[in-house]
Homo-oligomer: A and B are copies of this chain.
Amino acid sequence: MMECKQKKPSKETILALGDAIELLRGKWKISILRNLSFGEMRFKDLLVAVAGISPKVLSKELQDLEQNLLITRTVNNTKPITVSYAITDHADSTVPPIINALLEFGLNHRKKIMAHSQVEQL
């Protein structure tokens, strides 16, 4: 397993980390961005794909992400109006690495937790 080099704790670094945490905080934003990283989606599709989210919360999160230039919102002139959401280029190049790192962490954590509870039963 590879270790990762750490950047020096400069002021800029700490600010950037704070920004990232604030922009992506909460239960839903990462999942929404992950779904959009596979291709653009409409509101209702996201409502299904992001399991458990309510329309109110989805709407609010999407507005938030749009304001921060992480996604775009496009109104299509279709029979019943549809709206497409897409991840922006700049988010698409920096968010997937975060998701993959979280995934690694999550999978590894599950293993460790299971090993730990095995030991506790002895």
The residues of B that contact A13 with a CB separation of less than 8 Å are 103
Which residues of the other chain, B, contact A116 by a CB distance below 8 angstroms?
69
Contact bitstring A1-17, B, C-beta under 8 A = 1, else 0: 10111110100111111
Q: Of B1, B90, B99, B113, which contacts A93 at CB under 8 A? A: B1
24 CB contacts below 8 A, A to B, read A4-B96, A4-B100, A6-B34, A6-B38, A7-B103, A12-B107, A16-B103, A16-B105, A17-B31, A17-B103, A19-B109, A19-B110, A20-B102, A20-B103, A20-B105, A23-B109, A25-B26, A69-B113, A95-B105, A97-B104, A97-B105, A98-B98, A98-B102, A98-B105
A residues whose Cβ falls under 8 Å from a Cβ of B: 1, 3-7, 9, 12-27, 30-31, 34, 37-38, 51, 68-69, 90, 92-110, 112-113, 116
